[in-house]
Amino acid sequence: MKWAVFMDRDGTVNEEVGYLDDPAGLRLLPGAGEAIRRLNAARVPVLLVTNQSAIARGYLPAARLQAVHQELARQLAAHGAHIDHIYHCPHHPDENCSCRKPQPGMLQQAAAEHGIELADSFIVGDKGTDLEAGRRVGCRTVLVLTGYGPDERRRLETAGPRPDFVARDLSEAVEWILTRQREEAGDD
Ligand SMILES: [Mg+2]
Ligand SMILES: [Zn+2]
């Protein structure tokens, strides 16, 4: 079974701007393209999991979301990087679906579709709810200090649970993940 890196989108890969409904507003965070390219080169599946309740709220037509994701792919390609699959939850929080993070539904779907061992995988995000989705299915958790990360670190220090690692940004998160993985492979 393969392992994967699950990634939040806003505040983790690209700048957090509230509801992103315009491809022209998409900005990759510094180093994000290179970090994803490193995972691509290591043949680690990169699976994006993003809550998009703006769809249910009527602010974001599904076609606009696709346009934003095409732009994301285009900007990543300029860095020689790609995301293997993007999963999004279109539901309103009140719908109590099984895919809106912190629920792990998107991770479970991805695991089934890509043959991923969740207990050997990682999740990277800028919010406790991202990490909780991974924790519920046995992934290791990395909080990045971009987006909401600084506020979330303070909150999690008292409210818990603490992330397995706190990284300055996606680049440091990927470095930690690849190092851990190498060490564990060497332990066998
Ligand atoms: Mg985020
Ligand atoms: Zn959902």
Q: How confident is the model at residue 187 (pLDDT cuts 50, 70, 90)?
A: low
Q: How confident is the model at residue 106 (pLDDT cuts 50, 70, 90)?
A: very high
Longest CA–CA span in the chain (Å) reads 51
Average pLDDT value over all residues in the chain: 96
Q: How far is the CA of 38 from the centre of ligand 1 (A)?
A: 21
pTM of this structure: 0.96
Q: Is the pLDDT of residue 142 over 60?
A: yes
CA distance 84 to 40: 9
Q: Per residue in 56-68, pLDDT tens?
A: 999 999 999 999 9
| Cβ-based neighbours of 112, under 8 Å, separated by 6 or more | none
Q: Strand 140-144 to strand 122-125: parallel, antiparallel, or no bridges (unpaired)? A: parallel
Radius of gyration, CA atoms only, the chain = 15
Q: How far is the CA of 184 from the centre of ligand 1 (A)?
A: 28
Q: Is the pLDDT of residue 22 over 90?
A: yes
Q: Is the pLDDT of residue 48 over 70?
A: yes
For the chain, the structural domain boundaries read 5-120+133-187
Residue 52: what pLDDT?
95
Q: Is the pLDDT of residue 188 over 60?
A: no
CATH of the domain spanning 5-120+133-187, picked from 3.30.230.70, 3.40.50.1000, 3.40.50.1820, 3.30.465.10: 3.40.50.1000
Percent of the chain with pLDDT over 90: 92
CA distance 22 to 26: 7
SS3 for 141? strand
> Which ligand sits nearest to residue 146's alpha carbon?
1
Active site residue 10: yes
Question: Of residues 10, 126, 130, 164, which has the active-site annotation?
Answer: 10
Q: 93-102, 104-113, 178-187: which range is least confident on average? A: 178-187
> Which ligand sits nearest to residue 16's alpha carbon?
1
Q: What is the mean pLDDT of residues 14-20?
A: 92
